[in-house]
Amino acid sequence: MPEWKDAVAPDAGLIEELARQAVTSLPAAFAGAAAQVVLRVEDFASEDFLDELEIDDPLELTGLYDGVPMTEKTSSAPQHFPDTVWLFRRAILDEWASRGDVTLAALVGHVVVHEFAHHFGWSDEDIAKIDRWWE
């Protein structure tokens, strides 16, 4: 049995490491474009993000894509900020603890795929080919 009295919560560095592993496991056709997206891990979503999404409880938002989907980008409309996938550590840990039926790596991987799906403009069917989460 693990010694929980000596355990510490996974930090942002571990969440980022798991997220980067998930990014490298995306299909090769998406690797180049995925590498151009900034990956950020914060404890909670900012008040601006929560207000924009009309979310009251920061524990309800595990991740967010902030950018212009590839399917909507045009060369005539330059983008002045990098596409970013945000992961929110405390919300991820809360969901992980409350579910109790998935590994932390699996949950982080699912959140990463979902957020990159917004970047790539994937449909639900496209996501299901890569992330069999709901099976």
Q: Is 80 exceeded by the pLDDT of residue 29?
A: yes
pLDDT, residue 110, reads: 92
Residue ranges making up the domain that contains 46: 10-69+80-130
Q: Is 70 exceeded by the pLDDT of residue 57?
A: yes
Q: Is 70 exceeded by the pLDDT of residue 10?
A: yes
DSSP codes of every residue in 80-92 = SS--EEEEEHHHH
Q: Is 80 exceeded by the pLDDT of residue 123?
A: no
Is 3 contained in some domain? no
Is 5 contained in some domain? no
Is 74 contained in some domain? no
Q: Is 60 exceeded by the pLDDT of residue 34?
A: yes
Is 1 contained in some domain? no
Number of domains composing the chain = 1
| Percent of the chain surpassing pLDDT 90 | 56
Is 26 contained in some domain? yes
Q: Tell which phi-psi region holds residue 16, choosing left (phi > 0), alpha (psi between -120 and 50) or beta.
A: alpha
SS3 per residue for 26-59: CCHHHHHHHHCCEEEEECCCCHHHHHHCCCCCHH
Is 4 contained in some domain? no
CATH value at residue 29: 3.30.2010.20
Is 135 contained in some domain? no
pLDDT, residue 89, reads: 98
Is 89 contained in some domain? yes
pLDDT, residue 30, reads: 85
CB 87 within 8 A of CB 74: no
Top-confidence range, 71-75, 113-117, 131-135: 113-117
The predicted model gives 60-86 an average pLDDT of: 84
Q: 1 or 47: whose pLDDT is higher?
A: 47
Buried b (16+ CB within 10 A) or exposed e, 7-28: eeebeeeebbebbeebbeebee
The predicted model gives 105-113 an average pLDDT of: 94
Whether pTM exceeds 0.75: yes
